[in-house]
Amino acid sequence: MSLEWEQIVLDARDPVALGRWWREALGWVVVNDHPDEFEIRPATDRLPGIIFEPGAAHKLGKNRLHLDLRPDDHHAEVERLLGLGASRVDIGQGDVSWVVMADPEGNEFCVLRDRRSAP
């Protein structure tokens, strides 16, 4: 048996706006810009992608699944993402080496330590 991870699907109040935010945050490309299924990928022919579909009006509670992002420059990426509209969030993580953030619809993700300082 063989499996390939094709995409992750994220419910959104505004799939196009959230998809465009993540496209900007990740530097990916749009491969489908339909309002009911907005998809981004690292490149047109690269997987996995992220699909944004219409979903619940508001996110409730902590995400059960989130993205961990490893930057080249931790501080610069946190500041860039804040400038794009992300926010810092406290989910009880305490004093850790990463920053927990949320996208404009409140979905958590983590910005890990710099590549050069990771073990």
Q: What's the pTM?
A: 0.88
Which residues sit opposite 33 in a β-bridge?
38
Under a CB-based contact definition with an 8 Å cutoff, are residues 14 and 57 in contact? no
- Per-residue confidence (pLDDT) for residue 119, from 0 to 100: 58
CATH of domain 1-55: 3.30.720.120
How does pLDDT run across 39-66, given as a tens digit for each residue?
Answer: 999 999 999 999 999 987 777 777 778 8
At 65-104, the pLDDT tens digits run 889 999 999 999 999 999 999 999 988 888 888 999 999 9
- Domain edges within the chain: 1-55, 66-119
Cα separation, 58 vs 13, whole angstroms: 7
CA distance 108 to 35: 22
Rounded CA separation 111/109 (Å): 7
| Assigned CATH topology for domain 66-119 | 2,3-Dihydroxybiphenyl 1,2-Dioxygenase; domain 1 (3.10.180)
17, pLDDT greater than 90:
yes
Quote the pLDDT of residue 118.
58
Average pLDDT over the chain, rounded to an integer: 91
What are the strands of the beta sheet with 99-102, ordered from one edge?
67-69, 108-111, 99-102, 87-88
